Structure 1
Amino acid sequence: MSARSAPLSVIGFDADDTLWENEQFFRLTEDRFTRLLADFAEADHLSERLLAAERRNLTHYGFGIKGFTLSMIETAIEVTGGRVPSHVLGKILDAGREMLSHPVEPLPHAHDVLKRLTEVYRLVLITKGDLFDQERKLAQSGLGDFFDAVEIVSDKQVVTYERIFSQHGEGAERAMMVGNSLKSDVVPALRAGSWGVYVPHALTWSLEHEEAPRAAPRFREIPHLGELEVLLQGIG
């Protein structure tokens, strides 16, 4: 089946926790953060304060490790009343730098599925976050050659998918978005008119949670990327 004769011409893929591991490193760093500040507050309270800081700071710092690191520093200053020891701040900065250099671990099926689909469809990587970090992870993943285009965006909204699928394909109606976030990858893509395929990951940031739109005609859910080709065959 050629892309020209198929109902779909372009498939968009999320990156973090869809093609490679990501959230687990945030969780590990958050655990490290709560241990560093154990003398000042309980772990659950620190996690709540950190999440609140992240939520506040999204409009200022965007998504990604740098914003997360700044939110940790802000939280540390708040919970200690400005008395956070300098060596703790130094360790928080070290933790952020370690995250930015962590090896990329592609998820099962990602390489093989992309390799086969790139022969049939135009593939577009659509990811949000820090530009340098996302470029680093894509380069280290070994998956970059499978994509016809890469879009690193500040956020994922309906207009984001409308623009990308028009620019790199034949509009949202002939496009599909695949990702692990209902809030960012699936729901806005569906609202733009494309298919939205939800691939759950064991760890998903709480700010990315949203109710699954199961009544939407173009919504689909698969347990892992290895099922995507079967799904595509069923669509036509």
Structure 2
Amino acid sequence: MNSRSICNEFLHLKRTDLREAILEAAQQLLVREGYGSLTMRHIAQRAGCSVGSLYLYFERKEGLLFALLDRAQERLAERFFAPEIQSITDPRQRLQALARAYVDFGLTHPEAYEVLFMLHPRELASYPEERLEQAYRLLDPIVEAIDTYVQQHQLEMPDVRVAAVAFWSALHGIVSLLLAGRLARLRLEVDRDALIEQAIRQAMGGLCQRMRPKNNRTA
């Protein structure tokens, strides 16, 4: 590799590092101060760069928000579509693994989780429709696992996607409680891992209650 190639590679790495630093700074400020209080000057200060350098990557803070949403989606998708999860052939076990991956994502990347699932709808109003649709597709692995289980066991379920959203809602509830520190504030001292496992079991149980054998015509 010649000196020019080495120099170009170094500059590329530096640009990548700065972009990542800008995104991290914007994400932290967004969660702490809210979108309305977010300014490019504050982001640049926190990222340790000039406002001019920031504008080389993002022309406005709306573009920054979109980049944060895209990045959060990618991080969750990496977990959902990880080979060790997708290789699980039993749909019930795969659904449990997806649930654990979702909770772990939320607790490991709390700021990314808040950006993806807890922003006010008005802040997403101008998010491109096709990218918003891509975000909704993150539930597809859950839908597919439930549908596969229903088909394999010759069961009926009124609406698999509704069931998947209800399942996700239960997981979102436990992640939100833990991130907000509500249990500690209420002095509910419980083992966190045991609580998560119990929440997943209850979410699974709720799914099972909605399933019926195909020859069962009762309401």
Normalised to the residue count of structure 1, the TM-score between the two structures is 0.31
Normalised to the residue count of structure 2, the TM-score between the two structures is 0.33
User: More relative contact order in 1 or in 2 (CA 8 Å, sep 6+)?
Assistant: 1
> For the pair shown, which has the larger CA radius of gyration, 1 or 2?
2
